[in-house]
């Protein structure tokens, strides 16, 4: 090699090295533009029309192109949803929801909450699986199988908005109480119910139970201010499983779901549980016991007892059976600490002639109703003694005079040998701000 060629080679190597160093040290990397292309053409039908094909039993195979849009409402980011995606037809005021089975974890990374998706169901099954309408793959073992991860994009794709994925702001459907959520029309919809709290029996527990150090799927009971209850189902793999349940009341957002006939609501993460308000007191006697009450008989052998005649059942009942009786049902102390307003309410049903039920309040229950100073409360009672099941709402009884105090509510029953009414009592509430 002559000197001229050697010099040219040396200069070239040096220039390449300088260029490489310059590239490596450059901090302002340019991100390649993200290009989003719609895999499927426009929808050919609505999700409602697609779901309407669901047979009452079994499943059908979709054998032609059926393309429809939806919006993702579930998320497996925190482990509470497993290889399923729940979606509804609109970001706000939805009319229908569906669930798709996918053998692929981490779906939230590709399809986060609010993602606008388009599905071509050709080659998939549509049917009722354990109480829920689902779509999924053909499977020799299960009615609705999970779509293999490698085939995911064959059936499901995000919808573009500009150069990226269209992600909508999802507005939960507001429902007045938990009972309304137990309706097939709301399955796989994102809903929100206000004035909800965990049942007293759940306080002090975490979201899931642990057995030998491993989390297990766990249902936690929640109740609303009207006494309706449902189950919040939490996966044993949820990342928030060890978190203690909040003790307050507030808004609960969840995806409506069920397993066979058992309703189970599912949260995406702890942001769905906004329980920052003061707890309310509710007694519907659903636990089948009087653990929250003192059942005191002053006169007579008859006592308050739980029967299956409530509003809805059960309720607590007292009948003197044509004997002289004085019987009290007295709540254990109820705290009104921190409340700015509070009201008491309950439902009554009476049958046969006799003395009216009396209602009292006290700040200092002595353990003996005959030595306690009671303040009478005015309430609307059932006026129809000729029929059962004429449940009457007491009205809202103002308790503002007792704010920041602990109180006990006493229901006093009396009867005579000549007049012994049957009084039924249910849905006792103390609600405040």
Place of tokens 């490596």: 24
Q: Which CATH architecture has domain 173-278?
A: Beta Barrel (2.40)
What are the pLDDT tens digits along the chain (433 aa)? 444 444 444 444 444 444 444 444 444 445 454 467 788 989 999 999 999 999 999 999 999 999 999 999 999 999 999 999 999 999 999 999 999 999 999 999 999 999 999 999 999 999 999 999 999 999 999 999 999 999 999 999 999 998 899 999 999 999 999 999 999 999 999 999 999 999 988 999 999 999 999 999 999 999 999 889 999 999 999 999 999 999 999 999 999 999 999 999 999 999 999 999 999 999 999 889 999 999 999 999 999 999 999 998 899 999 999 999 999 999 999 999 999 999 999 999 999 999 999 999 999 999 999 999 999 999 999 999 999 999 999 999 999 999 999 999 999 999 999 999 999 999 999 998 8
- Give the pLDDT score at 5: 45
Chain centroid, CA 238 distance in Å: 16
- Burial state string for 97-113 with b = 16 or more CB within 10 A and e = fewer than 16: bbbbbbebeebbebbeb
In this structure, are residues 125 and 91 in contact, taking their beta carbons and an 8 Å threshold? no
Question: In angstroms, rounded to a whole number, what is the distance separating the alpha carbons of residues 378 and 376?
Answer: 7
Cα dihedral sign for 422, 223, 91, 189?
negative
Question: In angstroms, rounded to a whole number, what is the distance separating the alpha carbons of residues 421 and 328?
Answer: 15
- Give the pLDDT score at 312: 86
- Give the pLDDT score at 433: 80
Q: Is 309 helix (H, G, I), strand (E, B) or coil?
A: coil
Domain positions in the chain are 47-165, 173-278, 293-432
How far is the CA of 230 from the CAs of 193, 219, 233, 335, in angstroms?
12, 9, 10, 25
Residues 6+ apart with CB under 8 A from 358: 376, 411, 412, 413, 414
Q: Which CATH architecture has domain 47-165?
A: Beta Barrel (2.40)
- Give the pLDDT score at 35: 61
CATH topology of domain 293-432: Jelly Rolls (2.60.120)
What string of DSSP letters covers 156-223? Answer: EEEPEETTEE-B----PEEESSHHHHSSGGGTT-EEEEEEEEE-GGGTT-BSSEEETTEEE-EEEEEE
**What's the pTM?**
0.83
In this structure, are residues 246 and 273 in contact, taking their beta carbons and an 8 Å threshold? yes
- Give the pLDDT score at 34: 47
- Give the pLDDT score at 287: 83
- Give the pLDDT score at 22: 43
β-pairing, 173-175 vs 190-198, is parallel
Within this chain, domains 47-165 and 173-278 share the same CATH topology = yes
């Amino acid at each position: 090699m002559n000197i001229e060629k050697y010099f040219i080679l040396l200069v070239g190597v040096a220039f390449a090295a300088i260029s490489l160093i310059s590239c490596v040290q450059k901090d302002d990397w340019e991100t390649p533009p993200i290009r989003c292309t719609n895999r499927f053409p426009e929808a050919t039908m609505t999700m409602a029309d697609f779901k309407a094909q669901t047979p009452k039993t079994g499943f059908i195979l979709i054998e032609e192109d059926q393309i429809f849009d939806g919006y993702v409402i579930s998320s497996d980011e925190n482990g509470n949803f497993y290889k399923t995606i729940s979606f509804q037809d609109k970001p706000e005021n939805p009319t229908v929801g569906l669930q798709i089975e996918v053998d692929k974890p981490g779906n939230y990374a590709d399809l986060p909450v609010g993602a606008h998706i388009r599905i071509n169901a050709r080659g998939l099954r549509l049917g009722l699986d354990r109480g829920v309408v689902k779509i999924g793959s053909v499977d020799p073992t299960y009615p609705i199988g999970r779509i293999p991860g490698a085939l995911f994009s064959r059936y499901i794709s995000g919808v573009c908005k500009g150069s990226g994925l269209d992600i909508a702001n999802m507005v939960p459907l507001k429902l007045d109480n938990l009972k309304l959520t137990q309706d097939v029309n709301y399955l796989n919809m994102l809903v929100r119910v206000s004035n909800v709290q965990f049942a007293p029996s759940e306080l002090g527990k975490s979201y899931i139970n642990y057995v030998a150090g491993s989390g297990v799927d766990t249902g936690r009971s929640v109740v609303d201010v009207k006494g309706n209850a449902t189950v919040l189902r939490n996966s044993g793999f949820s990342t928030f499983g060890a978190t203690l349940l909040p003790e307050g009341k507030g808004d609960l957002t969840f995806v409506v779901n069920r397993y066979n006939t058992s309703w189970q609501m599912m949260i995406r993460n702890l942001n769905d549980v906004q329980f920052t308000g003061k707890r309310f007191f509710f007694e519907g006697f659903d636990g089948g016991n009087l653990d929250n009450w003192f059942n005191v008989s002053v006169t007579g052998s008859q006592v308050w007892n739980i029967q299956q005649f409530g509003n809805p059942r059960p309720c607590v009942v007292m009948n003197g059976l044509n004997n002289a009786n004085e019987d009290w049902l007295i709540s254990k102390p109820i705290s009104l600490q921190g409340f700015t307003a509070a009201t008491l309410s309950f439902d009554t049903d009476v049958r046969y002639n006799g003395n009216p039920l009396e209602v009292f309040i006290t700040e200092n229950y002595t353990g003996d109703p005959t030595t306690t100073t009671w303040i009478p409360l005015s309430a609307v009672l059932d006026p129809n003694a000729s029929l059962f099941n004429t449940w009457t709402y007491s009205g809202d009884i103002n308790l503002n005079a007792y704010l920041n105090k602990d109180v006990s509510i006493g229901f006093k029953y009396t009867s005579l040998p000549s007049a012994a009414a049957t009084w039924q009592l249910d849905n006792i509430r103390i609600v405040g701000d």
